[in-house]
Structure 1
């Protein structure tokens, strides 16, 4: 089932409408979004637990949810 705006906000909390739209456009599930949110906010702990790195839509979501450094944005 496709994510709704309410689904996204229930997982990540208050967010910019552009980000919400980008997340919905991935066609991810709530489970994928939940996993991505965990990785975006606590990747070191998950790596230390030996969990495999995210892939597919989860990896795409991690990319969207991870704040970009100003230097990276200027280099783009």
Structure 2
């Protein structure tokens, strides 16, 4: 099932409308967004746990939500310029 705006906000918190639309357009599931969030912001090192690398859908979400290099890294990217 494709995510809704409410789903995105429930995982990422306050993000701009463009980011929400971009994430919804990926047609990823809520579970995939949660997994992407855990890869980017989780305290556990998934690779250290022997977890497999994320699939292509989760990897695409990671690219969208990961902070830019010059960002402070405290949360998801707020949109792309």
1-side partners of 2:44 and 2:8: how far apart? 23
Aligned-CA RMSD value: 1.5
Q: Which has the larger radius of gyration?
A: 1
Higher fraction of helix = 1
**Following TM superposition, by how much is the alpha carbon of 1:43 offset from its aligned partner in structure 2, in angstroms?**
7.6
2-side partners of 1:6 and 1:51: how far apart? 28
2-side partners of 1:7 and 1:42: how far apart? 18
| Residue in 2 that maps onto 1:54 | 54
| Residue in 2 that maps onto 1:20 | 20
1-side partners of 2:26 and 2:4: how far apart? 12
**Following TM superposition, by how much is the alpha carbon of 1:44 offset from its aligned partner in structure 2, in angstroms?**
6.3
Measured against aligned partners, the alpha-carbon deviations of 1:37-68 in whole angstroms (never above 9, x if no partner) come to 10011386111111111121111001101112
Identify unmatched segments of 5+ residues in structure 2.
71-81
Identify unmatched segments of 5+ residues in structure 1.
71-76
**Following TM superposition, by how much is the alpha carbon of 1:2 offset from its aligned partner in structure 2, in angstroms?**
1.4
- TM-score, with normalisation over the residues of structure 2? 0.78
